[in-house]
Structure 1
């Protein structure tokens, strides 16, 4: 084992040990995570929110406005936003503070095994109970809440977003190549070959950030085995060598052999990948509705604007999930620290969660609730409204992004091996063997 790997493993062990100890005593609060309405006066003070969101994004902008409005009637109140947009750095900070029992009143987290351990230790408020107590539970989209749930169905995070992930495509380029929108995932290689013959990049991919390629790894297993596969995989109860995992590896290898992604995709960043599509050089681009302002408004190049359309995740023969079930994330959730929860935190959350949907939807984004209607920009194309409408038509099962599910070590190795697999530097069998070994090592740890 390398020095770097030994150091990483040691630090992970220390963090895990500290987390275990901090849940057993030393300053841990005896607050009841289900006691959402504690007795006492609302005494204004500064509260903090540890978050991993763009500083100029809609969520933070809306919450800053709400906090300012709340402070007008509660002198002395302030919401301190501790922002770390870079996700790996954020996770390190979040887990370190959790291990030291120093998390602030509010903090961002995905529904990871680490977060579930915090919940099991009584360190996070039960959001299901909180929303019911505030009379807001029925206003949230089922899919938005379900994305935040742990595998056992419990809910400890509040969603602030709702997104749909589509395959955006240039209908003119597909037509010129004589291909139709793929009906199944197995239609992708043939589509890619036909587009390549026309000198067109089939699929634009941000390979530099790695998570977009990891989305493709999730697709075949979701259709073949449902959302349970990734749940079992992260818990060490399934393997990459299972039929769903092998099928995914073989499909991704085929995509690579068919030249589906641009040359040098592994070093292409987010903006450059999007530019390939918006300039008409690539035929397909897999991204979410957070890009509506760039892909469904007059900001889009007029040369391609009328040709842009979308399709959702194709199916496979014998699929166990429905056509209207695909990647519908509600982003990283906000947890409420049970150890610092008091009448002020409850009162602020009651105010904020009531005001938030309308303010957020006014920015042109999809609210996690059904109570706020998204404001369609004046320069929007028809695709903007039709994309928003699909939010009311999604199914129950969600294709969870694997980077929010797997432990950091396995996830990092998976992202590295996926690039090698698509580039043809490793075979599906080699990929599966490597990932099963990594999964076993990290699950054992």
Structure 2
């Protein structure tokens, strides 16, 4: 893969990551992807090292052994504690969907931990406005920014201040079991019409075409966000979610109608509404379901040592719509998974030191694990990167931009209105028209 890939990643981030931000400023793109030594965040902050014993409470979402980032997190925390033996990291992990509720409640009650994982854009905006998060601009002038790729701070910048750090770029992608397609003489779809043909063909031979979790509603949103992007294009999505447009735009009804069509054709498993993310992935990972549209971190899961579908899966963007405004080079996602520091922590220096160390080293470790493309100029042996991550880098090398996922771009209760309505659409309990009407209520508050 070589140096060419790393420059491509930097270019993609610099051009695309600001497309879905909410009132956020971007950083200047860094054209030269000159690599840095691992653990530079620690080296750059040695002067902050003290003999005082400190315990930092750290909440995050990567606690499941099936998570592609699981080992990376454990490695980085262990390395940090070895480098800084006076600072202990007390970890608390929660599953993604439950974590969102937990972190919002903690912020509202002013009970956030010292350091916590979150998402940029609209998700964390209420935390910033409530004064719960530490602005870290003064800590970034020690060369830290120079070690990040362009745009890496775009989605954690609010107004003119930086409130968090990112470590990796994620994007929505279609993971397809090529072996199942070939065995059943079915074409890998490049257009929506071809996708419908593939769905019907798999159903005809008794194979459920796509995996999804109706219980963890963000996985349904993965599909719909991508479909809305293909139907409406980035500009319409961002303006509408920023309440500068309307869900009455015909493109949204087109996306909803197509999603309902997939449901009616039986594209998703029977009983999907009651399945968790881990449960819904089992048949895909067992090689029984041919398609899964989810985040790029899925590449790491596919290439776990115990994987049954290693070397059988290829990655594609969501198929384009013949009547859509979006194109094949627009993707959902961006550098949005973030680490923030509680504004009221009693250990600001230690917390920011850990924040910086964690993000820079997670950029390297999650890249190696196939979980993320790096938002830092990491130095790695790229021959060890799994083939799906290579495919993802190539797939996004021509990206025109990344549109943040709706549940990140939307703010507060608007996110829940969206996800609840989408769950009803998956269940078939509302029509596409009723779904659009529910989304439009976001404007009525």
TM tier, smaller: 0.7 to 0.9
Residues 66 and 396 of structure 1, relative CA distance in 2, 3 Å threshold: farther
Classify the secondary structure of the residue corresponding to 1:426: coil
Q: Distance in 2 between matches of 1:264 and 1:145?
A: 40
For the pair 1:103 / 2:105, whether they are aligned, the reply is no
**1:332 corresponding residue in structure 2:** 337
- Structure 2 residue runs of 5 or longer lacking an equivalent are 1-44, 65-69
Q: Provide the C-alpha distance between the structure 2 equivalents of 1:348 and 1:365, rounded to a whole number of angstroms.
A: 21
Kept after mapping to 1: 8 A contact 2:214/2:274: yes
Inter-partner Cα distance in structure 1 for 2:131 and 2:326:
34
Structure 1, unpaired ranges of 5+: 1-36
Residue 279 (1) aligns with residue 283 (2): no
Structure 2 partner of 1:4: none
| TM-aligned CA distance change 1:279 to 1:358, over 3 Å | closer
Deviation at 1:355, TM superposition (A): 4.9
After TM superposition, the score normalised by the length of structure 1 is 0.73
Where do 1:177-326 residues align within 5 Å? 177-296=184-303, 299-301=306-308, 305-317=310-322, 323-326=328-331
Name the CA shift for 1:404/1:123 in 2 (closer, same or farther; >3 Å). Answer: same
Structure 2 length as normaliser, TM-score?
A: 0.73
Q: CA deviation at 1:99?
A: 3.6
SS in 2 for 1:68: helix
Structure 1: distance between partners of 2:305 and 2:78:
28
Tell whether the 8 Å contact from 1:364 to 1:374 is kept in structure 2 after alignment. Answer: no
**Counterpart residue number, 2:73:** 60
Seen in structure 2, the aligned counterparts of structure 1 residues 324 and 51 have a Cα distance that, compared at 3 Å, is farther
Deviation of 1:289 (Å): 3.7
**Residue 431 (structure 2) aligned to one of 427, 431, 436:** 427
CA distance in 1, matches of 2:358, 2:420: 40
Report the count of equivalent residues. 394
Say which SS state the counterpart of residue 398 (structure 1) adopts: strand
Does residue 1:80 correspond to 2:90, yes or no? yes
- Going from structure 1 to structure 2, the CA distance change for 1:142 and 1:316 (only over 3 Å counts) comes to farther
Q: Deviations over 1:40-61 (max 9, x none)?
A: 9957342534423233624531
Matches within 5 A, 1:19-168: 44-55=52-63, 57-58=70-71, 60-72=73-85, 75=86, 77-81=87-91, 83-113=92-122, 115-120=124-129, 123-127=132-136, 130-131=139-140, 133-142=141-150, 144-149=152-157, 155-168=162-175
Question: How far apart are 1:158 and its partner, in Å?
Answer: 0.9
Q: Is the 8 A contact 1:329 1:400 kept in 2?
A: yes
In the aligned structure 2, how far is the partner of 1:97 from the partner of 1:372?
Answer: 36
**CA shift for structure 1 position 255:** 1.2
Give yes or no for contact 1:66–1:355 (8 Å, CA) kept in 2.
no
User: Residues 221, 376 of structure 1: CA spacing in aligned structure 2 closer, same or farther, 3 A cutoff?
Assistant: same
Judge which range, 211-220 or 407-416, deviates more.
407-416
Higher relative contact order (CA 8 A, sep 6+): 2
The structure with the greater share of residues assigned to strand is 2
Cα distance in 2, alignment partners of residues 374 and 170 from structure 1 = 27
What secondary structure is seen at the aligned counterpart in 2 of 1:411? helix
Instruction: Report the CA distance between 1:208 and its aligned residue.
Output: 2.6
1:146 Cα deviation after fit? 4.0
User: Partners of 1:425 and 1:392 in 2: how far apart?
Assistant: 36
Higher-Rg member (1/2): 1
Whole-Å separation in 2 of the counterparts to 1:420 and 1:353: 37
1:360 Cα offset (Å): 5.0
